[in-house]
Chains A and B, each alone.
Chain A
Amino acid sequence: MGRIGERFRRLREERRKGFVAFVTAGDPSLERTVEVAGEMEKAGVDVLELGVPFSDPLADGPIIQRASERALSRGTTLIRVLEAVHRIRKTSDLPLLLFSYFNPLLRFGLPALAREAAAAGVDGVLVTDLPPEEAGGWLEVARDAGLDTVFLAAPTSPDERLRRVAGASRGFVYAISRTGVTGERDALSDDARPLLSRIKALTREPVALGFGISTPEQVAAAASVADAVVVGSALVRFQEEHPHGDVAGQVTWLRSAI
């Protein structure tokens, strides 16, 4: 079992809910990303998602779009993100999930990417625009390299798709709380609860709930239905406003209501 599976096993044992944080790698710099990973670990983050910046992030709202632009303008590429993971791994055992669009992975070459990501210390990969149907070749090379593969489940996915998504997922299933792009929202969507109960009826894989969760109240509401909660845009926006600020403090605040 990899670090991600191990973490979820422990969470279950201790009857705790997990906290998954997303940051865009290279925003404002990869040096800062390496530091942030260490601070996140101390703050008790269970899984860190590292967003690989991409020129055309069509599943992202304005906050993560801007972060990607900043990261790209500083020359952040997939290779450099893997180097940063290598540095994080020197001091940290934090479970790490690469979060990417498919094209940068494809350009890298999937077998090479799987090998090098695993060697650098990546535990799993989530590809936003790669549904299980198109993932055949990728699943093979990722599994061979020992990487977990996380897929998205959406409110629009009927049960037969949820089964397929859960079947292709290793590590956990990432449930999208509502239709739409990433970004902060005022309240947890009404779509979240029914989606979670449908997935839970179909799989024993742990389920993390994300998209739009940005306040302690929403974190608590999400944690009441899922095994873990993902916060992205709220943390990315905090870093936009305070590039060297206490992002770990934000995590502590967000978790305070669980």
Chain B
Amino acid sequence: MTTARPDEQGHFGPYGGRYVPETLMEPLRELEAAYAEARRDPAFRDEFARLLRDYVGRPTPLTFAGRLSERLGSRVWLKREDLCHTGAHKINNALGQALLVKRMGKTRVVAETGAGQHGVASATVCALLGLECVVYMGTEDMARQAPNVRRMRLLGAEVRPVRSGSRTLKDAINEAMRDWVTNVRTTHYLLGSVLGAHPYPAMVRDFHAVIGEEARGQVRAQAGSLPDVLVACVGGGSNALGLFAAFFADPVAMVGVEAGGRSSRPGDHAARFLDERGGAAARPPEPPPAGRRSESVVPPSLGSGSAVGVLHGTCTYVLQDEAGNVLPTHSISAGLDYPAVGPEHALLRDEGRVRYTAVGDDEALAAFHLLSELEGIIPALESAHAVAWVVKDAGSLAGKLVLVNLSGRGDKDLGIIESAENAAKVDGGQRTQRG
């Protein structure tokens, strides 16, 4: 299902829109028109559904996490996006957009990637459909997600290292947008989350809506009712919206888990909705006055570095300094290590429909091990953030039916886990010596 949002200009309340250089305005309009036409075309929908089934391996199962449930005192179900071809939900969107690229007659695709999952998904669908594929990736991410770099190259994609700025996802998006604006007549930008200028946030959400549509039917059939709570990690926010969208009309609570990183100090985390007290903000900030867009007022600020702003084509919460420059972020999970968040999430937060919270690197690591040992499922570090919140808030979830989006598998993260744990050992050792 899809919600009625955004409005015709791509606004989610005061958020969203199209904040891009003029060169991209007409290509975005063309993309919007091509997408609107494709989604009405049964042939397009059938082809997408067929490939989701025969190639991606959908529907993905819903698995009852029995031992974890017993440990926590709640009933935890996992939506198994880790079992999608290529190991994460990202391929739903990559496939949808690549089919659209064929339809638009473009021949070249550029993409950004953080964890490498979207890059791998893009390289994969481009191989499948015979498209040229260039993936931009920060050098810091290339180092920490090396297995995915090798996979992309095997799949025939060109991986271009990005050495500017923080050398992570944000900078990869900058570079992909520079390529796109230069080669826009032949090239499609295959953006990997519910970010960017209209129509991307809505289109990417819709291509992932299959997650929630399946899960809603599965949980009723297998658990006998709707869940009490949905939980998903939020980097840009695509796996979260893919799950949530099917449940908006239901009396179901929703929790989005951001990367709390090392601490709540600016620069130490990637939690765009974290307020200055270090907790997830319970109340919306002063909303922009009705009828007037956020650009006409001083934007609300949450402290801890987050304020409403514009980055990568959309108006949303952005981690930034007092002068409006984007802050560096940190997360152990490359896929959550990004200073802005999808504009629809910003509105859902203000409305209170979704509650956003953050868990730190350590909590995510612990959850990574817990799920591996109790359920035999090694989660992606991104997805481990969602699991970590279920562990952390086990008290309030007692007896509840909790549905977690397990957005990806963790094979790509073994290197990070090892170096994080070696670093912890060294740290611990020094502390012991000093103490």
Q: List chain A residues, Cβ under 8 A from B325.
A: 54-56, 72, 103-104
Taking a contact as CB atoms under 8 Å apart, the answer to whether A102 and B297 are in contact is no
Kindly list chain B residues whose C-beta atoms are within 8 Å of the C-beta of A157: 22-23, 25-26
A77 contacts B323, CB within 8 Å? Answer: yes
Stretch at the interface among B12-20, B73-81, B202-210, B370-378: B12-20
Question: Are B293 and A137 interface neighbours, CB within 8 A?
Answer: yes
Least CB distance from B313 to A in Å reads 7
Known: A55-B165, A109-B297, A179-B184. Contact between A104 and B23, CB under 8 A? no
B185 within 8 A of A: yes
Within 8 Å of chain A (Cβ to Cβ): is B181? yes
CB contact under 8 A between A107 and B309, given known A65-B164, A156-B27:
yes
A102 near B310 (CB under 8 angstroms)? Answer: yes
Nearest chain-B residue to A211 (Cβ)? B23
Let me know if B181 and A107 touch, CB within 8 A: no
Report which of A59, A78, A110, A131 forms a contact with B181, defined as CB distance below 8 A: A59
Taken together as a complex, chains A and B put the C-alpha atoms of A134 and B19 apart, in Å, by 7
Contact with A along B284-316 (1 / 0, CB 8 A): 000000001111111100000001111111000
Q: How far is the CB of A147 from chain B (nearest CB, A)?
A: 15
In the complex the two chains form, is A106's CB within 8 Å of B313's CB?
no
A124 and B325 alpha carbons, distance in the complex (Å):
22
Query: Hey, what's the 0/1 contact readout for A127-158 against B, CB within 8 Å counting as 1?
Result: 01111011111101100000000011111111
Q: How far is the CB of B115 from chain A (nearest CB, A)?
A: 20
Chain A 95-111, CB-CB to B under 8 Å as 1, else 0, gives 00000011111111111
CB-based contact A158/B309 at 8 Å: no
Note all chain B residues with C-beta closer than 8 A to A138.
295-296
| B21 engages A154 (CB within 8 Å) | yes
Among B25, B178, B324, residue most surrounded by chain A Cβ atoms (within 10 Å): B324
| Cβ-defined partner of B170 (8 Å) among A56, A57, A79 | A56
Interface string of A76-116 (1 = CB under 8 A from B): 01110000000000000000000001111111111110000
Mask, B193-236, CB within 8 Å of A = 1, is 00000000000000000000000000000000000000000000
Taking CB atoms, residues of chain A closer than 8 Å to B299 are 106-107
The answer to whether the Cβ of A202 comes within 8 Å of any Cβ in the partner chain is no
Least CB distance, A123 to chain B, in whole angstroms: 21
- Chain A residue with minimal CB distance to B301? A107
B54 within 8 A of A: no
Cross-chain contact of A133 among B18, B185, B308, B318 (Cβ < 8 A)? B18
A161 contacts partner chain B, Cβ-Cβ < 8 Å: yes
Q: Measured between alpha carbons, how far is A170 from B171 in the docked complex, in Å?
A: 33
Q: B21 contacts A104, CB within 8 Å? A: no
Shortest C-beta distance, A64 to chain B (Å), equals 11
Closest to B298 in A: A109
A58 contacts the other chain (CB 8 A):
yes
Pairwise interchain contact B295-A103, C-beta atoms closer than 8 A: no
**A154 to B27 Cα, complex, angstroms:** 11
Q: Are A103 and B23 in contact (CB under 8 A)?
A: no
* Complex Cα spacing A55 to B294, Å: 21
> Separation in Å of the B18 CB from the closest CB of chain A?
6
Is A194 in contact with chain B by the CB < 8 A criterion?
no
Cβ contact of B22, chosen from A77, A106, A112, A152, cutoff 8 A? A152
- Measured CB to CB, the closest approach of chain B to A190, in angstroms, equals 13
Is B137 an interface residue when CB atoms closer than 8 A count as contact?
Answer: no
| Interface assignment of A231: CB less than 8 Å from any CB of chain B | no
A131 touches B184 (CB 8 A): no
Report the count of interface residues on B (CB-CB < 8 A). Answer: 47
Give which listed residue, A61, A109, A131, A179, contacts B185 with CB less than 8 A: A179
Q: Which residues on the B side are within 8 Å of A21 (C-beta)?
A: none
Q: By the criterion CB–CB under 8 Å, are B307 and A129 in contact?
A: no
Please state if B322 and A103 are interface contacts (CB–CB under 8 Å): no
Asked if A107 and B322 sit within 8 Å, CB to CB, the answer is: yes
Whether, in the assembled complex, B358 has its beta carbon less than 8 Å from a beta carbon of chain A, the answer is no
Q: Is B9 at the interface (CB under 8 A from chain A)?
A: yes
Give the one of A104, A109, A180 with max B CB within 10 A: A180
The answer to whether A161 and B19 touch (CB under 8 A), given A56-B311, A103-B309, is no
CB–CB B295/A137 < 8 A:
yes
B292 to A: closest C-beta gap in Å: 6
- Given contact pairs A56-B170, A58-B312, A158-B26, A181 touches B20 in the complex (Cβ within 8 A): no
Q: A165 contacts the other chain (Cβ, under 8 Å)?
A: yes
Give the Cβ gap from A61 to chain B, nearest Cβ, in Å.
7
Q: Which of B173, B178, B311 has the most CB of A within 10 A?
A: B178
Q: Please, which residue of chain A has its CB at the minimum distance from the CB of B328? A: A55
A176 interface residue per 8 A CB criterion: yes
Contact residue among A104, A154, A161 (Cβ-Cβ distance under 8 Å from B324):
A104
Nearest CB of chain A from residue B326's CB, rounded to whole Å: 5
- Picked from A107, A110, A156, the residue with its CB within 8 Å of the CB of B323 is A107
Set of chain B residues within 8 Å of A105, measured between Cβ atoms: 324
The CA of A122 and the CA of B25, in the complex, are separated in Å by 28
B→A interface (CB under 8 Å): 9, 17-27, 164-165, 170-171, 173-174, 177-178, 181-185, 292-299, 307-313, 318, 320, 322-326
Binding site for B on A (CB under 8 A): 54-59, 61, 65, 72, 77-79, 101-112, 128-131, 133-138, 140-141, 151-158, 161, 165, 176, 179-181
Given A58-B177, A106-B310, A156-B185, 15 other A-B residues pairs in contact with their CB atoms under 8 A? A58-B174, A59-B21, A59-B178, A102-B310, A103-B326, A106-B299, A111-B296, A129-B313, A133-B18, A137-B292, A151-B22, A157-B25, A161-B26, A179-B184, A180-B178
Show 28 residue pairs from A and B whose CB-CB distance is below 8 angstroms, ordered by the A residue. Answer: A59-B178, A77-B322, A103-B326, A104-B324, A107-B324, A108-B324, A110-B296, A110-B297, A133-B9, A134-B19, A135-B295, A137-B292, A151-B22, A152-B21, A152-B22, A155-B23, A156-B23, A156-B25, A156-B26, A156-B184, A157-B22, A157-B25, A158-B26, A161-B25, A176-B21, A176-B22, A180-B178, A180-B181
